Amino acid sequence: MKINPLVLFLVLLLFYPLSGSADEYAEMQQRIEQQQKSPDRHKWDFRRDAPRKPFETFKFLGVKPGMHVMDVGAGAGYSTEMLAAAVGPEGKVYSQNREQVLYIYADGYYKQTMDERLANNRLPNVVLHVSEYDDLGLDEELDLAFWGNNFHDYYYSKEGEATSLEILLSIKKTLKPGGVLGITDHVGLEGKDNQELHRIEPAIVRATLEQAGFIIEAESDLFANPADDHSLGVYDERVYLKTDRILIRARKP
């Protein structure tokens, strides 16, 4: 018997509502703000607080206390630390990186930084999860995954669209039915050298999400920046941490 996808989606919403209570979000905001004031944070984290808007981002995505979540392609772990505060002590964050990123890129900078974050049980609800993107494991264990600002890197890799699709399918496999994927990336325009600029056309992200079988629920203009004309690379100091970015909430049926 075929099930109408819309009907299934509405049923899932009964079990995975889009928003938490006002008290839950007030407490989440308090935990995040408290973590942002922590004197032992990484020295580069503070400048990211305002442009990354972790509380607003996680509220839009529907993060709740006690959730099990993954920071996909965590890099140096800024979002990992903010997610750890967001889900609270009863939650769990899998901070995912490839072995190559941790040990080889930037002469081991990412491994050193993650070691510092997790030293002395500093973030007790975080698990360092070393895996390839196409083999994340954790089948149907997660409530939510967050993939921030590097979809474009894999879309423009050697295998292109096939690689980004493979990653999305792997992420989808980690999610429980009804689980959420939040994705952000730097906006690029058609006709520009977006690979060089480290940008991506939003239509490409949407199409690949849908091809992977996700339902796109909503998009936010939280990171919209009309002053960014999309002509500069994202690491150019004139737009660094201020790029025009998409923010999409997609759900696994």
Res. 192 pLDDT band, cuts 50 70 90? very high
Pick the CATH number of 5-251 from 3.40.50.720, 3.40.50.150, 3.30.1490.190, 2.40.50.140: 3.40.50.150
- Report which of residues 13 and 63 the model is more confident about: 63
> What are the tens digits of pLDDT across the range 134-173?
999 999 999 999 999 999 999 998 778 899 999 999 999 9
Report the pLDDT value the prediction gives residue 104, as an integer from 0 to 100: 86
Closest CA to 57 of 201, 202, 198, 184: 184
Domain coordinates in residue numbering, the chain:
5-251
Res. 229 pLDDT band, cuts 50 70 90? very high
> What are the tens digits of pLDDT across the range 101-138?
998 888 889 999 999 999 999 999 999 999 999 999 99
Q: Tell whether pTM > 0.85.
A: yes
> What are the tens digits of pLDDT across the range 17-59?
555 688 899 999 999 999 999 999 998 999 999 999 999 999 9
Report the pLDDT value the prediction gives residue 1, as an integer from 0 to 100: 47
Q: Other C-beta atoms within 10 Å of 192: how many?
A: 13
Closest CA to 138 of 98, 94, 169, 97: 94
Sheet order of strands, 215-220 included: 126-130, 92-97, 68-72, 142-148, 175-186, 245-251, 215-220
Residue pair 185/200 in contact (Cβ under 8 Å)? The answer is: yes
